[in-house]
Amino acid sequence: MNSRQRQGPLDGLRVIDMSGMISGAFATTMMGDFGADVVMIEHPEAGDPIREWPIKTDDGVSLAWKSLGRNKRCVTLDLGSDRGRDLALDLIEDADVVFENFRPGTMERWDLGPEDVHAVNERAIMVRLSGYGQTGPRSRKPGFGTVAEGVSGWAHANGFPDREPLLPPISLADLTAAQFALQATLMAIFERDVGRGGSGEGQVIDVSLTEPLWRLFFGEVEAYDYEGHVRERTGNRHPSTAPRNIYETADGYMTMSASNQKIFERVAEAIDRPDLIDDPRFEDNEARVDNVEALDAEIEAWTRQRPTEEAIEVLEANDAIVGPVYDMSDIREDEQFRARGNFRTVHDDDVGEIETFAPVPKFSRTPGDVEFLGPRHGEHNVEVYVDELGLSPEELAELEAEGVV
């Protein structure tokens, strides 16, 4: 149906993206960055909510959408209508992967559930993202990442001990779920096409917003089961290693982590305090964790006397692991980010020439690419419905008049 070639290791993979907002959308953005043909479905009357997120251009175009919608072909379709469902199944018939993130039960109500999908394409991998997952007593509740960040244990553990739990400044639950969804999709593709000869069958992947964040707390389930341990907030410190913190300098802040004995000893030498090495309070990692406030005070007494650049230079000369605290303007000018080719200039019809993230990570032979930024609402209706599905221009016009597309 679609013979368009793209750059990257997923070239030839067809993805139908019915997910809105962030979790499914970021997973399919990554897939699009690395060559997958992603066809994103939006409702005819209203586009993805991200299209309304700030920061916007003077013409009201969301730069968040330009980033999250890149490398995707956008079509409009009312999935809740009979003709919309039929068109969706026509698209799915030729797809490798289908993403959706509606409230559990919605796709079944539209006759687009897993049985319907696999009836037209038994090889399709259906990825379902929701707040709490497809099963369990909370499964039918609506769920956003903010709630997941609370339920997963993340907010409780984040922040400073004398302050309230702290939510992240980015959509962390959604973005983490996106990574789990992406890796699960690639696992399922491997099982279908390669593993033990390849089963040739698709399957359903059930991803909640809560469980991926919770899974990142490795060792915590075991610690609670073994001795009832519950992680508490430790600010910028790590509960299992010291020193590790953000340290104030004469003109700002810097980061440092000395997570093993040799690195700690190099830090002590660098700050002209070799006596700390033999201090019983700091003799090993366990002692340093127990006495972390005293240790950080000794280190910060040194860093506060020096500008960030000088402090980093001295510590790095002793092979310590340190770095500055950047904002986006610092990152844009940083020689390491530039040398790695992390910025890509793209022409966009709405915005003009603009820099965006280059695909991450780097591939030696099949690197990804940014072909275009987030398209306009329904921009690819003709290309997908007429050129690929075979509808006539008259049929498409009729569907538009009926509000189906």
**Token code pair at residue 166:** 């702290």
Res. 243: pLDDT tops 90: yes
Considering the domain architecture, whether residues 157 and 79 belong to the same structural domain is answered as: yes
- C-alpha to C-alpha distances, 385 to 25, 82, 101, 393, 398, nearest whole angstrom: 21, 16, 23, 9, 12
* Spatial distance between the Cα atoms of 256 and 264, rounded to a whole number of angstroms: 10
Res. 4: pLDDT tops 80: no
Considering the domain architecture, whether residues 37 and 163 belong to the same structural domain is answered as: yes
List the catalytic residues: 174
Considering the domain architecture, whether residues 390 and 262 belong to the same structural domain is answered as: no
- Longest CA–CA span in the chain (Å) reads 84
Residue 231: inside a domain, yes or no?
no
* Spatial distance between the Cα atoms of 294 and 30, rounded to a whole number of angstroms: 44
Chain centre distance of CA 56 = 22
CB atoms under 10 Å from CB of 283, counted, come to 15
Considering the domain architecture, whether residues 33 and 164 belong to the same structural domain is answered as: yes
Phi, psi of 245 (to 5 degrees): -170, 175
* Spatial distance between the Cα atoms of 186 and 31, rounded to a whole number of angstroms: 10
Residue 237: inside a domain, yes or no?
no
Tally the domains of the chain.
2
CATH code for position 308: 3.30.1540.10
Considering the domain architecture, whether residues 141 and 78 belong to the same structural domain is answered as: yes
Report pLDDT for 141.
Answer: 94
Q: Which of 260, 295, 324 is the last residue of a domain?
A: 324
Rounded to 10 degrees, the C-alpha dihedral 63/69/73/75 comes to -90
In this prediction, what percent of the chain has a pLDDT beyond 70? Answer: 99
Considering the domain architecture, whether residues 312 and 347 belong to the same structural domain is answered as: no
Domain encompassing residue 65: 14-215+342-402
**Token code pair at residue 129:** 């993202």
pLDDT per residue as tens digits for the range 263-318 = 999 999 999 999 999 999 999 999 999 999 999 999 999 999 999 999 999 999 99
- CB-neighbour burial class of residue 349 (10 A; exposed 0-12, middle 13-18, buried 19+): exposed
* Spatial distance between the Cα atoms of 43 and 35, rounded to a whole number of angstroms: 25
**Token code pair at residue 279:** 């201090």
Global confidence as pTM: 0.96
pLDDT per residue as tens digits for the range 29-72 = 999 999 999 999 999 999 999 999 999 999 999 999 999 999 99
- C-alpha to C-alpha distances, 364 to 151, 173, 382, nearest whole angstrom: 40, 30, 36
pLDDT per residue as tens digits for the range 138-175 = 999 999 999 999 999 999 999 999 999 999 999 999 99
What is the helix (H) or strand (E) element at residue 86, kind and residue range? helix 82-92
**Residues contacting 204, CB < 8 A, separation 6+:** 114, 125, 126, 128
Considering the domain architecture, whether residues 191 and 121 belong to the same structural domain is answered as: yes
Residue 78: inside a domain, yes or no?
yes
Considering the domain architecture, whether residues 319 and 349 belong to the same structural domain is answered as: no
Res. 188: pLDDT tops 80: yes
Q: State the angle between helix axes of 82-92 and 393-402 in degrees (0 to 180), rounded to the nearest 10.
A: 130
CATH code for position 39: 3.40.50.10540
Considering the domain architecture, whether residues 296 and 372 belong to the same structural domain is answered as: no
